Amino acid sequence: MSKKPIPGSYIDTQGMGAPADPNYKGPKGKVDYKPAIVKPRRLFTEDMVKEAKILINEVLDEREGKFDYTSYFDTEKFKHTVLEEEPPYDKRRHSKNRSK
């Protein structure tokens, strides 16, 4: 009994190439290619960088005695419903000493 594969149960790679022109000599003249543009990858996302900058500035303000505003990381102050957008952070708007 022969173990001949059933047609359609395998991939036939013999006839997959396009018909080739035996007289084709390649592109005429030198072909100029544009250099590839590489976008550098970063470890941190843009949001992580934004939060890191805020954190560093808050630490420096605290060290210099200028920390008179609500911290960005005080999540109680930025609570909102799922129907609302998160309140924007602006340390001038969230000053502890501002008049109401």
The pTM is what? Answer: 0.53
- Cβ distance 70 to 94 under 8 Å? yes
What is d(CA 54, CA 73) in angstroms, rounded to the nearest whole number?
A: 9
Could you tell me the residue ranges of all domains in the chain?
Answer: 52-100
- Extract the tokens encoding 71: 């911290």
- Condensed to tens digits (0 to 9), the pLDDT of residues 55-89 reads 999 999 999 999 888 898 988 988 999 999 988 88
The 8-class DSSP code of residue 26 comes to -
Residue among 27, 34, 96, 24 nearest 67 (CA)? 96
- Condensed to tens digits (0 to 9), the pLDDT of residues 27-43 reads 788 888 899 999 999 99
What is d(CA 30, CA 12) in angstroms, rounded to the nearest whole number?
A: 36
99 pLDDT tier (thresholds 50, 70, 90): very low
